[in-house]
């Protein structure tokens, strides 16, 4: 199913999504990687709360250029999400996040947060950083830039028609787990012959 969603997104809208749904996101989202997740997990800062409630976290370390007083995204491909596994479930529930974008999927701990608190994992296409950056219409704000550096800072961005696929839904389904299980079966059949 193809779905257009505007951020902020209600929990009700998110719970309707299923693994395999193609989604186009428009609105405000926040990039957050390792240092940002560690901070949200340990200190639960309020400065980012208004952007994350019913919002979307993007696992991304963007390439940025500054033109005058404005920042522009040059490349904005997804980073591997599994590094945030120790933090993501708590971050989702603490901040009422409705979607997490990255690549590679996540594990059981995050799945528990998706189910309990009403969120999904969106997969973005890796290797398409400049194409994805073209969907970033403007940088609204940046937090922790000096302390964390460009890739690890919280970039608050406005996106338009940002293309993603639901690969983990709020019902407990994971395309990542399904593919791994199918691959394991094929492997076992091949080596048993």
Task: List active site positions.
Answer: 37
In the chain, alpha helices (H)? 11-15, 34-42, 49-52, 85-95, 108-117, 129-133, 145-148, 175-192
Burial label, 137 (beta-carbon count in 10 A; 0-12, 13-18, 19+)? middle
Reduced to 3 states (helix: H, G, I; strand: E, B; else coil), residue 64 is: strand
Strand partners, 191: none
Please count the CA atoms within 13 angstroms of the CA of 191 that sit on its side-chain side: 5
Residue whose structure tokens are 């009700």 = 12
């Amino acid at each position: 199913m193809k779905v257009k969603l505007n951020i902020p997104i209600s929990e009700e809208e998110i719970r309707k999504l299923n693994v395999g749904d193609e989604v186009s996101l428009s609105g405000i989202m926040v990039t957050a990687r390792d240092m940002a997740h560690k901070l949200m997990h340990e200190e639960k800062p309020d400065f980012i709360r208004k952007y994350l409630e019913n919002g979307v976290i993007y696992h991304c370390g963007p390439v940025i250029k500054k033109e005058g007083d404005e920042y522009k995204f040059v490349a904005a491909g997804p980073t591997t999400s599994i590094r945030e596994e120790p933090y993501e479930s708590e971050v989702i529930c603490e901040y009422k996040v409705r979607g997490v974008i990255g690549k590679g999927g996540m594990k059981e701990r995050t799945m528990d947060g998706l189910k309990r608190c009403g969120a999904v994992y969106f997969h973005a296409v890796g290797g398409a950083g400049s194409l994805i950056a073209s969907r970033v219409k403007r940088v609204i704000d940046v937090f922790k830039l000096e302390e964390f550096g460009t890739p690890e800072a919280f970039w608050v961005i406005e996106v338009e028609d940002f293309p993603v696929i639901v690969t983990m839904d709020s019902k407990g389904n994971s395309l990542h787990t399904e593919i791994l299980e199918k691959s394991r079966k094929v492997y076992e059949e091949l080596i048993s012959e």
